[in-house]
Structure 1
């Protein structure tokens, strides 16, 4: 079941780049047996191998994708297709994971983790990088 979820996330995020000052692809992750307890900031930093003093900001899923998943009238055909892919990615996340949280770790080069619980008690999701100077 969990493999099915990570495969769906992989397919939904394939070929997409997160837009910021730099464009990074998405990576799917699975943290086995980590969904029983609430994910603390300290646990998140351990799972992602970040230093304990790393700044963590939590944002809404829709906020993370607000520039990517909304069609604008000036978009060309390729951009419109990307918007649809981002909408599919968001739907896939919401359909396959429970209790989704979005964490931004660090400043300037920000590691982003979209984390949710699988039915089997694992944590899974997608990660990417944002560059904000």
Structure 2
């Protein structure tokens, strides 16, 4: 079951770039058995090997992708295709994971983890990076 979830997330995030002041790919995240209890900020920092004093901001999935997953009138064909890809990724995450949250770790160079719980109580999702100065 989980391999299927991971495969779907990999397929829908493949070749997709998160746009900010730079462009970063998405990587699949999977932590086996870690969904038994709530994902606290401290636990996330441990799982991602960040210092415990790293600032964390949590945002909603749709809010995080608001600029990528909505077609605009001025988009060219490639941008429209990317919007479709982002919508597919969001749908895949929502279809396969519960309690999805977007965690933004750090400032300026921000590590982003989009994590939810699988049916088998594992934690899964994608990570990327955004640059905001």
TM-score > 0.5, shorter chain as reference: yes
- Measured in 2, the distance between the counterparts of 1:26 and 1:18 equals 7
Q: CA deviation at 1:7?
A: 0.5
Partner residue, 1:61: 61
Q: CA deviation at 1:124?
A: 0.3
Where has structure 1 moved over 2 Å in runs of 4 or more? none
Partner residue, 1:118: 118
The residue correspondences of 1:1-133 to structure 2 (distance < 5 A) are 1-133=1-133
Report the number of matched residues.
133
**What stretches of structure 1 of length at least 5 have no aligned partner?**
none
Q: Quote the RMSD (CA, aligned, Å).
A: 0.4
1:97-117 CA deviation, whole Å, 9 max, x = no partner? 011011000000000000000
Q: CA deviation at 1:58?
A: 0.2
Q: CA deviation at 1:29?
A: 1.1
1:27-81 CA deviation, whole Å, 9 max, x = no partner? 0010011001001111000000000000000000011100000000010000000
Question: TM-score, normalization: structure 1?
Answer: 0.99
Question: TM-score, normalization: structure 2?
Answer: 0.99
Q: Secondary structure at the match of 2:71?
A: coil
- Measured in 1, the distance between the counterparts of 2:88 and 2:39 equals 26
- Measured in 2, the distance between the counterparts of 1:121 and 1:18 equals 27
